[in-house]
Structure 1
């Protein structure tokens, strides 16, 4: 399901990051996400696109 909505815990696990780091990245706007009340949520399709974009930028730079 491409438009699956994921929690901080799920995305942190998916990206192999600490939840605390992901929360900070989300607050800084470095990772695409949105808030529902006080909780952060992420669309899996947005995270996958963000990963692809970062990989492409790293290939161009390196």
Structure 2
């Protein structure tokens, strides 16, 4: 199976989040991304797994 690579704009549309949120997730939550020159690129499978394991979860929310 061929890897599906996404740009920042693609990942924002895919996850329905802003560019700002995407960059925060990269810096603060370890969102899996790869620098290609000056651009960030993402493998869709890695991002999907990161989400499944709770990487995008808001850790500031208290769940009762």
TM-score tier (shorter): 0.7 to 0.9
Mapped partners of 1:19, 1:2: distance in 2: 26
Distance 2:41 2:11 in 1: 9
Verify the 8 A CA contact 1:2 1:44 in the aligned structure 2. no
* Cα RMSD, aligned residues only: 2.5
TM-score (norm 1): 0.74
- Runs of 4+ aligned structure 1 residues displaced above 3 Å come to none
Instruction: Say if 1:31 and 1:24 are closer, same or farther in 2 by CA, change over 3 A.
Output: same
CA distance in 1, matches of 2:47, 2:24: 16
Structure 2 counterpart SS, 1:26: helix
Consecutive unaligned residues of structure 2, counting only runs of 5 or more, are 58-62
Query: How many residue pairs align between the two structures?
Result: 58
